[in-house]
Amino acid sequence: MVLANFNGAGIGFGFGVGCGFGVGWGFGGMPVNILGLGVGGGCGVGLGLGWGFGTAFGSKYRSSRVTFQGMEFDKKDHSDGASFKELSKSTQEVAQHKSKKDCWFVINGRVLNVTKFLEEHPGGEEVLIESAGKDATKDFEVIGHSKAAQNLLRKYQVGVLQGYTFKDEDSKEVPSKESKKKEMSAFVIKNDGIPKYAAFAEFFVPLLVAGSFFCYRYLSRATQITY
């Protein structure tokens, strides 16, 4: 288990003094974050309960292995000597090529375009299409492909998985031109970007609540004075 920090849009519940800020527990950025401390602009009546939208930040425990679409991240000691850096948020280059007409996947850090190999594959095209757009390292290894099959990988290589480093013995086999291949990211493992509507809500909802409260107070006083 490891402790990982996170932050994201949050809803905070807590105690506020007058109309101010509420501090309490909030829900953190999805999908992997759980609970964290939430701080948000809130509205309270006198010394009462306050609530509001804000930013939740805190720490969560999770398994040291994060698996997403068959690929493990954040493992410092990768079994084949490779290390993964945190992947780019924006690009999902390999994941975009997942059809029969455009079929890519990753095996041991190599980004492969196997579109032309589909019909030739002795194991059938279906298994390859199922792995399209993903990391197929485990599937490839489970089958126990021959050395000849492993050597074929380079024929279809179009790039290197972003952040992947080949270990020494591998790079002896693979000349330096490999490192010059285009780096690509395969998957987005988390996207902490706060959607526009959430940012909008974060700012305006507390304002709206506070405004409504003052309007209500103002109108009820005005009604009392009239009577």
* Residues at the site binding ligand HEM, with contacts judged by CB under 6 A: 112, 114, 117, 121-123, 127-128, 131, 136, 139-140, 143, 145-146, 148-149, 152-153, 156
Nearest residue to 53 (alpha-carbon basis) of 205, 193, 209: 205
The residue among 39 and 136 lying less far from ligand HEM, judged by its C-beta, is: 136
Least distance from ligand HEM to the Cβ atom of residue 94, Å: 13
Least distance from ligand HEM to the Cβ atom of residue 175, Å: 19
Least distance from ligand HEM to the Cβ atom of residue 110, Å: 9
Least distance from ligand HEM to the Cβ atom of residue 92, Å: 19
Name every residue whose Cβ is closer than 8 Å to that of residue 71 and which is 6 or more positions away in sequence.
Answer: 106, 134, 135, 137, 186, 187
The residue among 3 and 148 lying less far from ligand HEM, judged by its C-beta, is: 148
Do the beta carbons of residue 125 and residue 131 sit within 8 Å?
Answer: no
The residue among 122 and 175 lying less far from ligand HEM, judged by its C-beta, is: 122
Q: Write out the two tokens for 179.
A: 């490192």
165 vs 100: CA distance, rounded Å: 29
The residue among 84 and 156 lying less far from ligand HEM, judged by its C-beta, is: 156
The residue among 139 and 202 lying less far from ligand HEM, judged by its C-beta, is: 139
What residue is closest to ligand HEM based on CB? 123
Strands (E), the chain: 2-17, 21-27, 35-41, 47-62, 66-68, 71-73, 104-107, 110-113, 157-161, 183-184
